[in-house]
C-alpha cells in the first residue's frame, strides 16, 4: 500500500541519530513519507529537516520505544496522518560500555527495555496494522553482535541476541500462517554513529567502534534495500560482519580467547573518557544545539562503501557470473585434455 500521492509510508525508530537518521534520509530521498520516532527534540527537528531537504514527507513523533502504549499511539498517529504503514524499521537502542559487574541492575534492565523490548513493541505495533491488511514489511536492524558476543557490551549483545531469536520465531509463525507480511534482519558492522559519545560508559578511555568502521549511509543503503527486498531472512553488511559470523560458526572458542586478548583495547581510543550526559535515561539530543546528525566522531577512519554489501545485494548475479566462469574454465580444461 502507498499514500494517495504514491508515497510509501515508512516508520523509523531511533530516527534522530546514527543508522536511524541516515535511513530516514535515504527513504525520504525516494519520496517516501517517513515517520520519525525518537526521544530527542532537537535531533528529531534535524531529522525532519533532512527528510524535507531530500523530498520526503516527515512526521516527527517524540516517543520512548520502551513504552509499549506510547509506541502503539505513535503507530496509530502515523496511520491517521500519513496512511497505512508499508515499512517499519526498528533501530532505536541504548547501551552501557562497562564490564558486566560494573553495570547496575537497573541500568542493564533499561538497556534491555529499549534495545530489545523496544523492537518487540515496534514490531507488535506494526503487526496490529499490517496483519489485517496482510501486507507490510518489518526490518530489524541487527548487528554481528547478534551472533557473537564481545566484552564490555554484555547488555547490548544480550539484547541483540534476543532480537535475533525473537525475529526468527516470528518469521516462522508468519510463514506457518502463510502471511504476506514479511520480516527481515540486517546485521551491521561497526558504524560511525553518535552512540559512542552518548551511551553510558565506565571505561577509562573514550569508547570507539571496533575497526573497520563504516559510515551510517552504508548501513542505510542496506536497510532501504532490505525493505524493498524482504524475501531474504537476513543481510550481512561489511566484510567484518561476514568474517565474524563465519569465524564464530567454525571456531567460537578460539574467538572467545582472541576477544579476551584484544576486545578491551580495540573498543577504546587513546583519549581519556570525557564526561557527558549519557542517553540511557534521557535523550542526549533534546536541548537546542545538541543535534549531532547521523555521524559520530570517527569520520576520518570510516569507510563510505562496502563491496561486501554490494555482493550481498547482488548475490544472484554474482553466483551466475561465478558459475559461468567456472563452466567456461571447466570447458577450457576439458578441451585441453582432449587436445
Looking at beta carbons, which pairs linking 163-167 to residues 24 or more positions away fall under 8 Å? 163/115, 163/116, 163/119, 166/116, 166/119, 166/120, 166/123, 167/140, 167/142
Q: Is 103 exposed, middle or buried (0-12, 13-18, 19+ CB in 10 A)?
A: buried
| 156, 214, 235, 258: the active-site residue | 156
The separation between CA 295 and the C-alpha centre of its own chain, rounded to angstroms, equals: 14
d(CA 332, CA 336): 6
Is-catalytic flag, 258?
no
DSSP alpha helix (H) spans, the chain? 18-29, 41-53, 68-81, 105-115, 117-133, 154-176, 195-198, 216-228, 239-250, 252-262, 307-313, 315-338
Alpha-carbon gap, residue 279 to 21, rounded angstroms? 16
Residues labelled catalytic: 156
Amino acid at each position: 500500500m502507498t499514500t494517495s500521492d504514491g508515497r510509501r509510508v515508512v516508520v523509523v525508530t531511533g530516527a534522530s541519530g546514527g543508522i536511524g537518521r541516515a535511513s530516514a534520509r535515504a527513504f525520504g530521498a525516494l519520496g517516501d513519507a517517513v515517520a520519525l520516532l525518537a526521544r530527542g527534540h532537537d535531533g528529531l527537528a534535524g531529522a525532519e529537516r533532512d527528510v524535507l531537504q531530500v523530498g520526503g514527507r516527515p512526521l516527527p513523533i517524540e516517543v520512548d520505544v520502551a513504552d509499549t502504549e506510547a509506541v502503539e499511539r505513535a503507530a496509530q498517529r502515523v496511520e491517521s496522518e500519513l496512511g497505512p504503514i508499508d515499512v517499519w524499521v526498528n533501530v532505536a537502542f541504548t547501551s552501557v560500555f562497562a564490564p558486566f559487574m560494573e553495570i547496575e541492575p537497573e541500568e542493564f534492565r533499561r538497556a534491555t527495555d529499549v534495545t530489545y523490548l523496544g523492537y518487540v513493541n515496534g514490531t507488535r505495533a506494526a503487526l496490529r496494522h499490517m496483519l489485517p491488511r496482510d501486507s507490510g514489511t518489518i526490518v530489524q536492524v541487527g548487528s554481528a553482535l547478534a551472533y557473537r558476543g564481545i566484552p564490555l557490551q554484555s547488555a547490548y549483545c544480550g539484547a541483540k541476541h534476543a532480537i535475533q531469536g525473537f525475529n526468527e520465531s516470528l518469521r516462522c509463525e508468519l510463514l506457518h500462517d502463510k502471511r504476506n507480511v514479511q520480516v527481515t534482519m540486517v546485521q551491521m558492522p561497526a558504524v560511525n554513529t553518535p552512540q559512542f559519545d552518548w551511551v553510558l560508559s565506565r571505561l577509562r578511555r573514550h569508547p570507539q567502534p571496533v575497526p573497520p568502521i563504516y559510515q551510517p549511509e552504508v548501513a542505510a543503503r542496506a536497510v532501504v534495500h532490505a525493505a524493498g527486498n524482504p524475501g531474504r531472512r537476513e543481510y550481512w553488511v561489511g566484510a567484518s560482519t561476514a568474517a565474524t559470523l563465519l569465524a564464530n560458526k567454525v571456531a567460537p572458542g578460539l574467538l572467545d580467547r582472541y576477544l579476551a586478548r584484544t576486545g578491551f583495547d580495540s573498543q577504546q581510543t587513546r583519549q581519556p573518557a570525557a564526561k557527558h550526559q549519557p542517553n540511557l535515561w534521557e535523550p542526549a539530543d533534546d536541548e537546542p544545539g545538541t543535534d549531532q546528525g547521523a555521524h559520530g566522531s570517527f569520520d576520518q577512519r570510516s569507510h563510505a562503501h562496502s563491496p561486501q554489501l554490494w555482493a550481498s545485494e547482488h548475490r544472484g548475479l554474482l553466483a551466475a557470473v561465478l558459475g559461468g566462469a567456472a563452466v567456461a574454465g571447466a570447458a577450457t580444461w576439458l578441451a585441453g585434455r582432449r587436445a
